[in-house]
């Protein structure tokens, strides 16, 4: 671990229940276990367009976020990751950045950002920004100059190539958003490369000037108080210099009518790690954290993103959970064991702005709220850092458009009806049961789902059995309980096909978590022998679930979290 290698800090002061004693040296503050702030923090992703609209133009904004900081603090959030809020033509809703060092007027101003950062700081909430490293907007001044002539100063900041022949792109690569990944520019008679939309030209990271400029962007924001970045689409930074054709995986076409390719020569090239080491060095000076959008296939790949001695990403997002789309104890056991064996600190994610919400992925249509609590109990009690997604804590549902003409996300229009795009998971946050769910007094940019009448912050805050109140309780426990904060992870009752159980142990303390992933009541005799404990006493349980000695009874989809005793 980076800490072990480079930080020699000793714990001073006594442990206070729920708070971490820290010692500050010239390097980073760590606790008794050598853990840094981001290892105990709960992160929360905010899609700014959809969170809270302060000026009633139908689009969320920074002042809106600031107005909800008390809510976030009360919920138990320690860091917010705001998806891109920089100036942008909004082709990909902000993931097409036209200026990295400003705020888009639709979200506010730099002064609003400073105010937000200041208010967040007062509440102990860190701010993480989204750094779109692979590409800029085609309206960024670098690209405008780049395309202006083949000898322009920024020409080599992007990937320009001659076609194979008239009307023929340089190779067979397809954009992940549909169509060829090459766009012809008649002014200079060359093609430029774009892994995403044509309005998102890829930067040429082989050019040291690009790296220099991009590293400077991070320094600029660190000076403004940003505590780290989520690095967008890092897999796609480099392309094969020889532009070899990608292999075709199988005959046929995808949702966009393109050949089905393996992105062998345009993703996950080893050069990306050099960039990550560079970004890490800069981040380290500000004690900042780097989260990566890393679509790793397995733990070997995940380990590469931690780097050697953790010199790349502290939190490469492990999306393995987002690929377990059924409530299967065996599957989860396997994934958890795998990330616990990884070389860095685990990161857990169950929802984000690009995938169907966890509420729908796991819900059975009947016990969805109970299952939402079960999933919260799972990923918020594991050893690792969870990254929540706004609305998950109230049981927000994915609500995709029903007509093509209503689709906002461009891929939903090109891929309709098979691919409906990502609007469904980006609908306005449901603050109350009023019209527009308290998100805006104007017309929201995406319709407010009908479920805002039953699932909203105001009503759930009054209901002790709501999804929201359950999240609050788990998060409170997580912040206060040393076994959950610091403890190791060990699976118990591993042959149980219905109930996922594990213990977290720290020194002489232990917590057991038992999760019934079936729709029938279950009884579990906890196999605690190896742990040195004999029984469990409830800390938090749903409905009728509870324990006597080492016998745990669980209602359908029930949760039991218990303190272990000798
Ligand atoms: C990432 C973002 C996604 C965006 C894409 C292109 O995958 O999460 O929303 O469309 O990058 O920037
Ligand atoms: Ca607004």
H/E element, 501? strand 499-506
User: Which pLDDT score is estimated for 23?
Assistant: 35
Question: What is the whole-number distance in angstroms between the Cα of residue 83 and the centre of ligand 1?
Answer: 10
* DSSP 8-state code for residue 321: G
* CB of 130 closer than 8 Å to CB of 81: yes
Q: In what order do the strands lie in the sheet with 559-565?
A: 488-492, 499-506, 509-516, 559-565, 535-541
Work out which ligand 1 atom sits closest to the CA atom of 352. 8
Ligand nearest to the backbone CA of 410? 1
Work out which ligand 1 atom sits closest to the CA atom of 422. 9
Ligand nearest to the backbone CA of 440? 2
Residues carrying an active site annotation? 232, 293
| Whole-number Å distance between alpha carbons of 337 and 319 | 14
Whose alpha carbon is nearest atom 4 of ligand 1? 95
Work out which ligand 1 atom sits closest to the CA atom of 354. 9
Radius of gyration of the chain (CA): 24
Q: In what order do the strands lie in the sheet with 522-525?
A: 522-525, 551-554, 546-548
Residue 326: other Cβ atoms inside 10 A: 9
132 lines ligand 1 (CB under 6 A): yes
Entry field: residues in the chain: 566
User: Which pLDDT score is estimated for 27?
Assistant: 67
Question: What is the whole-number distance in angstroms between the Cα of residue 557 and the centre of ligand 1?
Answer: 33
555 lines ligand 1 (CB under 6 A): no
| Whole-number Å distance between alpha carbons of 248 and 406 | 33
Cα–Cα distances in angstroms (integers) from residue 177 to residues 64, 174, 258, 389, 429, in the given order: 31, 8, 10, 23, 26
Residue 504: other Cβ atoms inside 10 A: 24
H/E element, 447? none
Look at residues 529, 535, 532 and name the one whose alpha carbon lies nearest to residue 552: 535
* CB of 279 closer than 8 Å to CB of 231: yes
Give me the tens of pLDDT residue by residue for the chain, a chain 566 residues long: 333 333 333 333 333 333 333 333 336 889 988 999 999 999 999 999 999 999 999 999 999 999 999 999 999 999 999 999 999 999 999 999 999 999 999 999 999 999 999 999 999 999 999 999 999 999 999 999 999 999 999 999 999 999 999 999 999 999 999 999 999 999 999 999 999 999 999 999 999 999 999 999 999 999 999 999 999 999 999 999 999 999 999 999 999 999 999 999 999 999 999 999 999 999 999 999 999 999 898 999 999 999 998 899 999 997 788 888 899 999 999 999 999 999 999 999 999 999 999 999 999 999 999 999 999 999 999 999 999 999 999 999 999 999 999 999 999 999 999 999 999 999 999 999 999 999 999 999 999 999 999 999 999 999 999 999 999 999 999 999 999 999 999 999 999 999 999 999 999 999 999 999 999 999 999 999 999 999 999 999 999 999 999 999 999 999 999 999 99
354 lines ligand 1 (CB under 6 A): yes
| Whole-number Å distance between alpha carbons of 473 and 181 | 47
Tokens 């009908």 correspond to 450
232 lines ligand 1 (CB under 6 A): yes
Work out which ligand 1 atom sits closest to the CA atom of 92. 10
293 lines ligand 1 (CB under 6 A): yes
Question: What is the whole-number distance in angstroms between the Cα of residue 353 and the centre of ligand 1?
Answer: 9
H/E element, 344? none
| Whole-number Å distance between alpha carbons of 90 and 84 | 10
Instruction: Provide DSSP, 357-385.
Output: -HHHHH--SSSHHHHHHHHHHHHTSSSSE
Which value, to the nearest 10 degrees, does the dihedral of the CA atoms of residues 363, 345, 505, 476 take? -60
95 lines ligand 1 (CB under 6 A): yes
Residue 82, beta-bridge partner list: 46, 129
Whose alpha carbon is nearest atom 7 of ligand 1? 233
Ligand nearest to the backbone CA of 439? 2
Work out which ligand 1 atom sits closest to the CA atom of 134. 12
Question: What is the whole-number distance in angstroms between the Cα of residue 257 and the centre of ligand 1?
Answer: 21
Cα–Cα distances in angstroms (integers) from residue 488 to residues 4, 15, 214, 302, in the given order: 17, 18, 37, 20
Cα–Cα distances in angstroms (integers) from residue 251 to residues 125, 255, 310, in the given order: 50, 13, 41
Question: What is the whole-number distance in angstroms between the Cα of residue 94 and the centre of ligand 1?
Answer: 9
Question: What is the whole-number distance in angstroms between the Cα of residue 275 and the centre of ligand 1?
Answer: 19
Work out which ligand 1 atom sits closest to the CA atom of 177. 10
* CB of 389 closer than 8 Å to CB of 352: yes
Task: Locate 432 and state its tokens.
Answer: 């109350």
Parallel, antiparallel or unpaired: strands 385-389 and 347-349: parallel
* CB of 273 closer than 8 Å to CB of 292: no
Question: What is the whole-number distance in angstroms between the Cα of residue 56 and the centre of ligand 2?
Answer: 5
Ligand nearest to the backbone CA of 53? 2
Ligand nearest to the backbone CA of 267? 1
Task: Locate 510 and state its tokens.
Answer: 């232990």
| Whole-number Å distance between alpha carbons of 288 and 226 | 8
Tokens 């020699």 correspond to 8
92 lines ligand 1 (CB under 6 A): yes
Q: What is the Cα 279 distance to its own chain's centre?
A: 19
Q: What is the Cα 159 distance to its own chain's centre?
A: 28
Whose alpha carbon is nearest atom 9 of ligand 1? 354
234 lines ligand 1 (CB under 6 A): no
**CB proximity list for 330: less than 8 A, separation 6 or greater:** 497
| Whole-number Å distance between alpha carbons of 393 and 474 | 11
| Whole-number Å distance between alpha carbons of 144 and 127 | 31
Residue 45: other Cβ atoms inside 10 A: 24
Whose alpha carbon is nearest atom 12 of ligand 1? 95
291 lines ligand 1 (CB under 6 A): no
pTM of structure: 0.94
Of 45, 81, 86, 196, best ligand 1 pocket probe by most atoms within 8 Å of the beta carbon: 196
Return the HEC string of 39-57. Answer: HHCCEEEECHHHCCCCCCC
Residue 301: other Cβ atoms inside 10 A: 14
97 lines ligand 1 (CB under 6 A): no
Question: What is the whole-number distance in angstroms between the Cα of residue 390 and the centre of ligand 2?
Answer: 17
Question: What is the whole-number distance in angstroms between the Cα of residue 58 and the centre of ligand 2?
Answer: 6
**CB proximity list for 230: less than 8 A, separation 6 or greater:** 81, 83, 128, 129, 130, 131, 291, 292, 293
Work out which ligand 1 atom sits closest to the CA atom of 96. 12
* CB of 405 closer than 8 Å to CB of 447: no
User: Which pLDDT score is estimated for 158?
Assistant: 98
């Amino acid at each position: 671990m980076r800490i072990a290698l480079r930080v020699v800090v000793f714990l001073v002061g006594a442990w206070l229940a729920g708070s971490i004693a820290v010692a500050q040296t010239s390097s980073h503050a760590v606790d008794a276990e050598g853990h840094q702030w981001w290892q105990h923090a709960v992160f929360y992703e905010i899609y700014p367009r959809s969170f809270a609209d302060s000026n009633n133009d139908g689009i969320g904004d920074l002042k809106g976020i600031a107005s909800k900081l008390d809510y976030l603090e009360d919920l138990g959030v320690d860091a917010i990751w705001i998806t891109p809020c920089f100036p942008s033509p909004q082709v990909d809703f902000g993931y097409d950045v036209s200026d990295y060092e400003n705020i888009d007027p639709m979200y506010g101003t730099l002064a609003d950002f400073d105010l937000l950062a200041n208010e967040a700081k007062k509440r102990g909430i860190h701010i993480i920004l989204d750094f779109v490293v692979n590409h800029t907007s085609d309206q960024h001044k670098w690209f405008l100059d780049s395309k202006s002539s083949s000898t322009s100063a920024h020409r080599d900041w992007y990937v320009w190539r001659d076609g194979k022949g008239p009307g023929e792109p340089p190779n067979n690569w397809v954009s992940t958003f549909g169509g060829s990944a090459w766009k012809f520019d008649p002014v200079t008679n060359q093609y430029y490369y774009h892994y995403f939309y044509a309005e998102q030209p890829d930067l040429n990271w082989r050019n040291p000037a690009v790296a220099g400029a991009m590293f400077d962007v991070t320094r600029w924001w660190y000076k403004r108080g940003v505590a780290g970045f989520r690095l967008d689409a890092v897999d796609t930074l480099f392309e094969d210099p020889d532009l070899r054709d990608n292999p075709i995986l199988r005959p046929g076409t995808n949702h966009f009518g393109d050949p089905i390719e393996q992105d062998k020569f345009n993703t996950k090239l080893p050069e990306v790690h050099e960039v990550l080491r560079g970004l890490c060095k800069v981040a380290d000076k500000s004690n900042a954290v780097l989260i990566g959008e890393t679509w790793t296939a397995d733990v070997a790949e995940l380990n590469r993103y931690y780097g050697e001695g953790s010199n790349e990403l502290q939190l490469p997002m492990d999306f393995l959970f987002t690929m377990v789309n059924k409530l299967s104890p065996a599957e989860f056991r396997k994934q958890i064991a795998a990330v616990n064996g990884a070389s860095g600190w685990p990161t857990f994610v169950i929802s984000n702005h690009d995938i169907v919400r966890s509420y729908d992925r796991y819900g059975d249509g009947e016990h969805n709220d109970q299952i939402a609590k079960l999933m919260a109990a799972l990923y918020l009690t594991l050893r690792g850092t969870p990254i929540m997604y706004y609305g998950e804590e109230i049981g927000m549902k994915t609500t995709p458009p029903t007509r093509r003409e209503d689709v906002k996300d461009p891929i939903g229009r090109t891929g309709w009806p098979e691919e409906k795009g990502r609007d469904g998971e980006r609908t306005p946050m449901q603050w109350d049961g009023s019209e527009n769910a308290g998100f805006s007094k104007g017309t929201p940019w995406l319709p407010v789902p009908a479920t805002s009448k039953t699932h909203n912050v105001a009503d759930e805050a009054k209901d002790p059995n709501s999804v929201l109140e359950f999240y609050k309780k788990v998060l409170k426990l997580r912040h206060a309980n040393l076994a959950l904060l610091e403890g190791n992870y060990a699976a118990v009752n591993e042959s149980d096909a219905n109930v996922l159980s594990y213990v977290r142990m720290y020194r002489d303390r232990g917590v057991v978590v038992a999760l019934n992933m079936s729709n029938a009541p279950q009884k579990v005799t906890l196999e605690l022998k190896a742990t040195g404990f004999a029984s469990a006493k409830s800390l938090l349980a749903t409905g009728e679930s509870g324990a006597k000695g080492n016998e745990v009874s669980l209602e359908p989809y029930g949760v039991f979290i218990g303190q272990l005793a000798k």
